[in-house]
Amino acid sequence: MKEFILYTGCTTPVRLPAYERAVEVVLEKLGVKLTTMKDANCCGAQYIESVNHVAYSAMSGRILAIAESMDMDILAICGACSGSLKHVKHELDNNKELRNEVNDILEEEGLKYTGTVEVKHLLQIFREDIGYDAIKSAVVNPYKDVRLAAHYGCHVTRPEEIVHVDDAENPTIIDRIIEAVGGIPVDYTGKTRCCGGPLLAMDEEVANAIGRDKIENIRAENADGIVTACVFCDIQLTQVQFGEGSNDKPKIPVITLPQFLGPAIGIDFNSLGIHLNKISPEAILEAH
């Protein structure tokens, strides 16, 4: 049985606990064991990253080092976290100076980065460690006639040569999983574009305009729902459908990948925290 250490990141546990839970139950059902990382810290994405490269490297470095100390590969379910951890791992592996600096700080708590652990994003677990066939065969009640638009998340898939998750210009993992469980994956304009989330701090108006633009592109293909693989994207694509600037058109449910996958492999809504979703996806999840 494969085992990973789950790094939840700051946002999922607070803003989207259902996602965290869904990951646990779905992966368990598909034969992947998880241990949640404790005594962790923020990966430093975006904020620390922007102002001090070494500090940023140290923060992500510590997370990598903790995983090493427990001798487990890391599962990241947030785009920003997986992006940071992979990026910093790449740098620590290729920049001796930086690694020494980081290890110098880590030493005080008996931690050390040597580069033995891998960082994987949820999508990789599905493709590499579980596989589409295993998912197919796990399906007990496949979906029928539901059209779903996949949103992958920028930091999940880019830069391709560092994160190694999927084809950055033409990603397919989520779509193939949607297919595997009987849904209809729909293509839409600007599939690989950003949700706007990262700009919320600097310019909420533009950030939301970007998010709404994506929603409208998805609506244009008459999708019933949106499947995500990043907590920030999920929250952003949900919240832009509320409040000012959002039109009165019907809201499109935004569902995290495990929440969508769960019901098809026989997991009940409660264990997936479906009731916590801001735009109810039940109509979709009941379409069998």
Partner 1 sequence: MTKKASSALVVGGGVAGMQAALDIANQGFKVYLVERSPSIGGRMAMLDKTFPTLDCSACILTPKLSEVSRHPNIQLMTLSEVGSVTGSAGDFKVKIRRKARYVREDLCSGCGDCEANCPVEVANEFDQGIGFRKAIYALFPQATPHIYTVDKENCTDCGRCVKVCERNAIDMNMKDKFVTLDVGTIIVATGFELFDITQYPRLGYGQYPNVIHAMEFERLINAAGPTHGHLVRLSDGKKPKSIGFIQCVGARDVQKGVPYCSRVCCMYSIKNAVMALEHDPQAEVWVYYADIRAFGKGFEEFYEMAKSRFGVRFVRGRVAEVMEGKASHDLVVKVEDTVTSKVRLIEHDLVVISPGVIPSSGMDTMAKKLGIDQTDDGYIEISHSFFGPTVTKIPGVFVCGCADGPKDIPDSVSAGSAAAMKATIILSSGGK
Partner 2 sequence: MTDQTKTESPINHAPSSGFAKEIEQEPGGEGIMKCIQCGMCTASCMVASMTERYRPRKLIQKILLGKREEVLTSELPWLCMTCKLCEERCQEDVDLSQIFTAVREIAAREGYVPPVFQNTIEKVLEDGWMLNDAYTDFEEDDRSDLGLDPDLGWNNEFTKKIKKRYFKGGDAK
Give contact residues for partner 1 (rule: CB under 8 A): 169-170, 189-190, 220-221
CB of 198 to partner 2, least distance (A): 4
What distance lies between CA 241 and its chain's CA centroid?
20
Residue 234: contacted member of partner 1, partner 2, none (CB under 5 to 8 Å, by partner type): none
Query: Could you tell me which of 181, 171, 169 has the C-alpha nearest to residue 132?
Result: 181
Task: Output Rg (C-alpha) for the chain, integer angstroms.
Answer: 19
Query: Could you tell me which of 130, 128, 123 has the C-alpha nearest to residue 151?
Result: 123
Given the complex with partner 2, which of 70 and 168 has the nearer CB atom?
168
CB of 142 to partner 2, least distance (A): 26
Residue 189: contacted member of partner 2, partner 1, none (CB under 5 to 8 Å, by partner type): partner 1
Beta-carbon count within 10 A of 280 CB? 12
User: Site map for partner 2, 134-163, x if CB under 8 A?
Assistant: --------------------xx--xxx---
Q: What's the rounded Cα separation, in Å, for the pair 157 and 265?
A: 26
Q: Which helix (H) or strand (E) holds 33?
A: strand 32-36
Q: Given candidates 199, 229, 231, 254, which one binds partner 2 under the rule CB under 8 A?
A: 199
Tokens at residue 271, please?
Answer: 């264990």
Given the complex with partner 1, which of 160 and 205 has the nearer CB atom?
160
Tokens at residue 131, please?
Answer: 């596989």
Of the CA atoms within 13 Å of residue 74, those in its CB half-sphere come to 32
Tokens at residue 223, please?
Answer: 């999708």
Does position 280 bind partner 2 by CB under 8 A?
no
Could you list the residues that contact partner 2 (CB under 8 A)?
Answer: 8, 10-11, 13-15, 17-18, 20-21, 36, 38-42, 44, 46-55, 58-59, 62, 91, 105, 108-109, 154-155, 158-160, 168-169, 190, 192-194, 196-199, 201-203, 206, 209-210, 213, 271, 273, 276
